[in-house]
Amino acid sequence: WRVRHIEDDGEYAVKIVDVEHTRTRYNLTKKGGIQKTKKELKAIKALGDSDLHSNVLRYYNAFFSNDQKYLYIQTALYHNGTLEDVLRQGEPLPDDTVRSYLKQLAMAFEYVHSKDLIHRDFKSDAVCIASNGELKLVDFGLATPTAKSAGLTSGGLSTLYKERGYAVYRAPEQVGQKARKKQSTPAEDMFPVGLVLLEMIMGTLVTAYLEDDESPACVHFRLQELVTDCVDLNPLLCTIVTGTVGNNSHPKYSGGLLAEDAAERMTAADVIEQLRRQGFDSLGHRAVDLQATSPADAERLEWLEVLRDPPQV
């Protein structure tokens, strides 16, 4: 909800969490529903004071209703909608915008993971766009402290993950029998970052690749098709997805964001470093002028340019 504070006249967003809805959704007791509802608030508070990372939701206050049926969370208000709203327009994002957004997402997750938290619910509608164009990571309702992950498996969310919107963005270790044995790790957050990168390059949601009667989990079986289309559009950025130049056929994508093995998946810091190595500054723009480099650097950048515009054969 959009609200105005009666004392400071400022505009804020207030998220209203229905405790009973949360309780029935997770099949919890009344006390368990309240505790689960507090989880999102604890996660936001764990990220710091009101001066949070510039790419993470800014939190101000929270309180329960007198009957404890609702939790109200007061946060900053972002007027420009979500990244999903942008993607639903059906147009590929400009290269500079994709790089800038990817860098901001990586910095947000680097910060979240440094606070020993796993978001566990990342997708394009978990990203708000501020009036200055900055991305803001939101929706920490499923966030989990990594310190407690030793006893928490990815399968712990199996009921919720049956819902279409969540299942599409699951990492491989969160699917099927694997989810019952695998411990939750920050790598779970990075796989959906790879999917959202594909969405930004293509200008469409990955669900567009699913038939109406297909299970959301089928996205994992359509990765090669997704990656092939993206490599055609932006081969350089797709190296972050696949791990190697032009690798649109290997099913495991070792070393990229979509690596099947969580241990081999890029971290947030890896993404930031990869963008730097590709010659992009903090805003996602090309950081080096070809004419102002050494011969070796110029050769490397020319090679990158060839990757961006491969010769026709």
Confidence band of 265 (pLDDT split at 50, 70, 90): very high
pLDDT of residue 252: 64
How far does CA 140 lie from the centroid of its chain?
12
Kindly state the DSSP code that residue 266 receives in the 8-state scheme.
P
Are β-strands 117-118 and 11-18 bridged in parallel, bridged antiparallel, or unpaired? unpaired
Q: What is the pLDDT of residue 1?
A: 67
Q: For 31-97, give the DSSP string.
A: HHHHHHHHHHHHHHHHT-SSS--TTB--EEEEEE-TTSSEEEEEE---TT-BHHHHHTT--PPPHHH
Query: What is the reported pLDDT for 100?
Result: 94
Same fold, 2-75 and 83-308: no
- Kindly state the average pLDDT of the residues 243-249: 55
172, 178 Cβ separation under 8 angstroms: yes
Confidence class of residue 244 from pLDDT cuts 50, 70 and 90? low
Which backbone phi and psi does 250 adopt, to 5 degrees? -75, 125
Per CATH, the homologous superfamily of domain 83-308 is Transferase(Phosphotransferase) domain 1 (1.10.510.10)
pLDDT at 284: 53
The chain-wide mean pLDDT, for the chain, equals 75
pLDDT per residue over 222-234, tens digit each?
Answer: 777 788 888 888 8
Question: What number of other Cβ atoms are within 10 A of residue 52's Cβ?
Answer: 18
CATH domain 2-75 topology: Phosphorylase Kinase; domain 1 (3.30.200)
Residue with the two structure tokens 């997708």: 123
pLDDT digits (tens, 9 = 90+) for 48-79: 654 568 999 888 777 788 887 887 888 888 88
**What is the phi/psi pair of residue 72, to 5°?**
-110, 125
Confidence of residue 84 (pLDDT cuts 50, 70, 90): very high
For position 49, what pLDDT does the model report?
54
pLDDT tens sequence across 151-165: 444 444 444 444 434
Give domain limits for the chain.
Answer: 2-75, 83-308
For 197-230, write each residue's pLDDT tens digit. Answer: 999 999 999 888 776 666 655 666 677 778 888 8
**In this structure, what token pair is assigned to residue 289?**
């002028």
Q: With a cut of 70, say whether residue 261 has pLDDT above it.
A: yes
